[in-house]
Chain A
Amino acid sequence: MGLDLAGVAAWLADFADQVHTNVDLLTDLDRQIGDADHGSNMDRGMQKVAQLDQSDFASPAEMLKKAGMTLVSTVGGASGPLYGTFFLRLAGAWPALDDAAGLGAALRAGLDGIQSRGKAILGDKTMVDALVPAVEAYDKAASEGVASALRAAVEACAAGRDATIPLVARKGRASYLGERSAGHQDPGATSLTMLLEAANRTLV
């Protein structure tokens, strides 16, 4: 597999599985600082995405676009428009096969989409805290090929996710908790790390 339609389909299916397996973890993380729906929301959306049939799509970009639209309409919480935007932007910049730098640009476009949609910056205790270092690490390793770059991205992503624990939330429902949000891992950063882990397993 690779960056072709089969790869993208596998990626989405893998991520859906991860979310489904970890639905309680994600919901518990969200219960501590949010409204306890991240797991169920993402699972509802990704189960719909997992039902997409790759044979209905002519290109990986088309399938990513459909995935994005599906998330927008089925997730419900803020993750809907955020993940939806991510996939839509990804679709708009999806590279040709084996184009490591192209995948980096697509991930960057996805990040830009999330940031312009959610207006979060680094340190707000959101998925951005995981995605920014991931994209940076990917770009640094891009010359070594998609596999190495994704591996580097996943490591940076997980580190970024863990670094959200001491942060005080400044965006989303968790921001209402103020100081009390410190000490908890951000659920959005957690699910985003699962997304990149899934990419690392399927797109290489």
Chain B
Amino acid sequence: MIGIVVVSHSRALATAAVELAAEMAPPEARPTIKIAAGLDETTAFGTDAMAIADAIAEADSPDGVLVLVDLGSAVLSSEMALEWVDPGVSQRTVICPAPFVEGLIAATVTASTGADLTTVAAEAKAGLAAKLEHLESDGSVGPAPAQSQPGEDGPAVTFETVIDNPHGLHARPAAALVAGLRGFDANIQLTNLTRHKGPAPATSLAGVTTLGLGRGDTLSARITGPDRQAARERLQELAATNFGEDAGDSEPVLAEAADEPIAPTQTGRQIVVGPIIHLATTIDLSEYQPGDPLTERTRLDQAIAQVTERLQTRADASGPQGGIFAAQAIMLEDPDLLADLRAGVAGGASAVAAVSGDLAAVAAELSALDDPYLRERAQDVRSLARQITAELVGARIDLSGVEGILVVDELDPLTAASLDPTRCLGVVTCTGGATGHGVIVAGARGLPVVTGQAEAADVPDHTVVGLDPVGQVLWINPTMAQLAEIDRLSVERRNEATLAAELCHQPAVTRSGRRVLVEANIASLTDAKTAQANGADGSGLVRTEVLFADWDHAPSAAEQADVYRAIGQALEGRMITIRTWDPGGDKALAFLSQAAEPNPMLGERGIRAMRRLPDLLREQLKAVVLASRRTPVRVMFPMIVDPEEIRWASQILRQARAESGGQVTVGMMVETPAAAVRAADFADLVDFISIGSNDLAQYTMAADRGNGAVGHLAQADQPAVWDLIDLAAQAFSGRPVAVCGDIASRPELTARLVEAGVTELSVRPPLIGLVKLAVRTRA
């Protein structure tokens, strides 16, 4: 991919222009963009040819560099810089006369499609076309740089489609169209039949943009040339997916699931009644006709490739939860597993038999392990077996169409993420526990879940059931009396939710007049939007290790700062609390390698991992400082047991602030008995504390919260845990004391927390209104 250098007389202008352009392309596809603008720290106006030369060298790639310039010295200094860079580099560098802002945006988008330097430069130059078209409309569509005219080159095929993208064919879907149709030996001319614009060549982003295709407009294509049929089919496919906009919302910084923010009344606590439907965990194999070993091998490979691709797509399209899918895809690349499967079919087994046999064996091995985390992976393997088998027999499991109450053996994250919360009322699991990933994903999407209901397995489809996710009650075929009770409870719950929703944007003040901040725990941009819609007083916990879990490289300070800023802006500038990387235990970061530990919960978690990898923390604190210049931010460190750890981390933060300025207050998680008992030792070192009640409970009770056998002991609502919460809160009396564990999300415990001296409750976004209500009415 080409690199881009932005040269401006004004640093502020260049920074803003790059920010604008960056929003047009997803981070993973974005070209390297370097800024050379302004002179030094104190002189924000001017250009420096040496700095430009450096920027060109940094942005250089074998595909070349495009330099966009604004006025005056920007041009002269850039030309001068070209005389200084390595001759090899200068040969593949183009200083582009494009309009600065439009050119930069066109260049960023076009470069992100993998286009070559000449094409990108032409697109950038044509960046003025849309404006010319609009303001000086003389009927002719602008630029079409370096494109052949609609020629009479043989027979033509045509295609028409109505644009259904919410904002029309704006730059991103237009870029998807251009990228998708590049490479065909065909001349594809597009016309906007509705507005009589065009034709414009499909290979020109600027040309396509000038067609002004809005929602509801008819796009017509006339395609000639040898590849016309293939190009037409590709165009049809692209149109069918709304030019890539189906896959996800067009968020600037993080790919996100297409989830709308959850409405304040859909809390995941609602009682629902409806017909049940079983997800076929066994797929009907009676129709499967095994072929010879070669055929079976081909089918097997194709099915695995299909499933891998689908998982990858899913991973790319879902922000924070994407890591789960990426991890499943990676499992399918395991050479040992593949070799076993292939050996199976080579030995005469059908592909279906090999998959069910081998994967069942792997799942069984995992299930037998001591480590509860690995035991949970058995679920992933069973999920994979289901997906491949379904692919082999041609059964598509379309979960988004599931209506009513779904019954599954266990709820895997893929299933939870695929259900449509507007159609599916809730989920019942037969064997799964309450803490699996799938249950968490479902809860975050506002779906009520009742777990561990073995009897549900034998209840026929369409049987009416009621479920109460709070009481974890399942009513099968409820009697009239039960229905009346369900109805009463349901109305009560709904009224409460409605009242909470009505008041959710009001401050939460106790009866005695104390203001309690009710904030959101945030792991994605969608969470931030849900939090805003639900009246959050900011965020008491941004789970950075989840935000970036699926990144294959450590995000740079700038990349992180973009995300933190977007979260802060989604919350309209309310304070957000960034917790530094908290890997280890049951959480992994793709870009951070950690050795397997016999006891990961007692191992290199949180700040301890940063002691080994200080550069990761340094870069993150830089990002925090950068973000703090744009939106209010505070930072907190996880897994603190010793004041020395805070001194060490604060020193790194001080360095970052010395470099970049910014205002950041410092806090720490209290999630170990050590930190809670000795909280006073930290009083001079941090401005606030945040109690992580889940970990505090598991470390206090010596009970692994992921282990079903002892999980009930790891509940935070235990006298010993309350004592520790009281101790920590007393030590920080008069200062912010937050709770960000699950205990904060339980309205029935709100009063007790406020009584302990807690001043901030950071909760699951859909529950903000209810917790605020609990502050007002119970505390």
Contact = CB atoms under 8 A, between A and B. Distances in A.
Interaction A to B = yes
Interface of A: 37, 41, 44, 69, 72-82, 84-85, 117-118, 172-173
B80 A117 contact: yes
8 contacts: A41-B46, A69-B50, A77-B9, A77-B45, A78-B73, A79-B73, A117-B80, A173-B72
Contacts, number: 60
Contacts of B39: 73-74, 76
Contacts of B45: 37, 76-77
Contacts of A77: 9, 45-46, 72-73
B43 interface: yes
A52 B749 CA distance: 71
B48 interface: yes
B49 A81 contact: yes
Interface residues of B, number: 18
B51 A73 contact: yes
A72 B77 contact: yes
Contacts of A118: 76
Contacts of A78: 72-73, 76
Contacts of B50: 69, 72-73
A117 B80 CA distance: 8
Contact of A76 (B71, B73, B79, B80): B73
- Where chain A touches its partner, the secondary structure class is helix
A81 B51 contact: no
B47 A80 contact: yes
A12 B548 CA distance: 55
Contacts of A85: 80
Contacts of A79: 73
Q: Name which of A75, A76, A85 has the most chain B CB atoms within 10 A of its CB.
A: A76
A76 B51 CA distance: 11
A73 B76 contact: no
Nearest to B47: A76
Q: Name which of A44, A77, A117, A172 has the most chain B CB atoms within 10 A of its CB.
A: A77
Contacts of B9: 76-77
A124 to B, nearest CB: 14
Interface in B169-224: none
A117 B71 contact: no
Contacts of A82: 76
B182 to A, nearest CB: 36
Contacts of B79: 81, 117
Q: Name which of B38, B47, B77, B79 has the most chain A CB atoms within 10 A of its CB.
A: B77
Contacts of A76: 9, 38-39, 43, 45-48, 73
Nearest to A85: B80
B48 A73 contact: yes
A173 B76 CA distance: 13
A27 to B, nearest CB: 13
Interface string B359-395: 0000000000000000000000000000000000000
Contacts of B49: 72-73, 80-81, 84
Contacts of A75: 46
A81 B43 contact: no
Contacts of A72: 48-50, 77, 80
Contacts of A44: 43
A44 B46 CA distance: 12
A79 B38 CA distance: 14
A81 B76 contact: yes
Contact of B77 (A37, A41, A69, A81): A81
Q: Name which of A72, A74, A77 has the most chain B CB atoms within 10 A of its CB.
A: A72
